[in-house]
Amino acid sequence: MEEILATPPNKLVEKLENGELSILQMFGVSYFGAIKRLLKNPTKAEKLRFSAVSSWKLQLFVMNWLVGPMCRFLLWCILVGDNKKSENYWQKKRQKAVKLGHILFPDKIQGTITATESQGLIVGFNHPTLHEILSLITWSLENFPNKRNNFPTNLPWYESVCTCADSLRNLGICIAPLITQGTFAKLEKIHEGDSETIKAMAKISNILLNNYLTIATEFDICGDNTFSAPSGTRQATIFANKAAFDNDNIKLLPVMSSLALKIARANKTSTSIFLPITVIPPKFWLKNMRGLRLLNSYQLVIGKGFSVDEVKTLGRKIDYAFLQRIAENAPKRLIYP
């Protein structure tokens, strides 16, 4: 454990990508072993793979175990064919990814954003399902074909696709592992009473967060794009509750403010745009439909962006202001429960 904690973040991620390390397994979560005991009583660790610690449903189990392989299959569909040695191989593959994205995620985009080659975007969006992740990737690859895209990825999902990370990078998609609050809470329950293990988990969580923020600053300097969900995880509504919507002093996850602070310190001449995008699922969408929702037509509304100067002036209040701006273009059903 001490050796892992002392590993530089980029080397830690490299080990994950090469299959030399599984943080989930290190903390007692059997990534593949649990499937063998599907029909038996699952342990606490196994229940994390079933998306719950106290209880689990077959539907959630299937979602967890199929989305990773499905994403790898979609990537294979994009990469198959053509001569890899050709000069414009990856450009062709990005174009193919966009075409496939439009077929599987036939969303309507409302609004436009203009950014120069040297001007990056810090995109914040509400995150009710997995669908919008692939939709936003499609949108960015199509509209900014020469820019890279930094996406934070919850650790269980990251470990299911990280062996494809190199190909994704060549397509312009960088996935950065994070331990979300929900995943951390489940790991805490697994190791309840084991303070040393929980401390180690917190340290690794901070290492991964700093790695994501470092990538964001590097991308900002190069004029590339970074994406983030202010909720920190999938959440059916933009605000967790009405109290959060009504009170601009309520404590929120410092997602956008952490990005803003890190970027402002690293790049004092940054001209990036902090861009809110509102994700609107179809009206028949139910709050427990959290998967990819293939072939469903969502609406993505590009909101009014914040300049770096505006973000600096708002400080920590940017977290609330950002959610409010996302909510401006959302139907009431999506604003709070």
Q: Quick: pLDDT tens for 2-15.
A: 778 888 888 999 99
- Structural domain including 316 reads 2-334
Q: Quick: pLDDT tens for 161-199.
A: 888 999 999 999 999 999 999 888 878 877 778 899 999
Least confident of 1-10, 27-36, 117-126, 228-237: 27-36
Residue 287 DSSP one-character state: T
Least confident of 68-72, 91-95, 284-288: 284-288
CB atoms within 10 A of CB 3: 6
Q: Give the model's confidence band at 51: pLDDT under 50 very low, under 70 low, under 90 confident, else very high.
A: very low
pLDDT at 37: 46
pLDDT at 243: 92
Q: What is the mean predicted confidence (pLDDT) over 302-311? A: 94
- pLDDT higher than threshold 90 for residue 86: no
Instruction: Compute CA distances 12 → 5, 8, 139, 334, whole Å.
Output: 9, 6, 30, 37
Which residues, in sequence order, are CB contacts of 94 under 8 Å at separation 6+?
141, 145, 171, 172
Q: What is the pTM of this model?
A: 0.88
Q: Quick: pLDDT tens for 124-134.
A: 999 999 899 99
Q: H or E element: which one contains 102?
A: helix 89-104
Q: What is the mean predicted confidence (pLDDT) over 265-281? A: 93
pLDDT at 55: 41
How many domains does the structure of the chain reveal? 1
pLDDT at 185: 85
Q: Give the model's confidence band at 43: pLDDT under 50 very low, under 70 low, under 90 confident, else very high.
A: low
pLDDT at 41: 61
End-to-end Cα spacing for the chain:
41
pLDDT at 286: 61
CATH number for the domain including 52? 3.40.1130
Q: Quick: pLDDT tens for 104-150.
A: 999 999 998 888 888 999 999 999 998 999 999 999 999 999 999 99
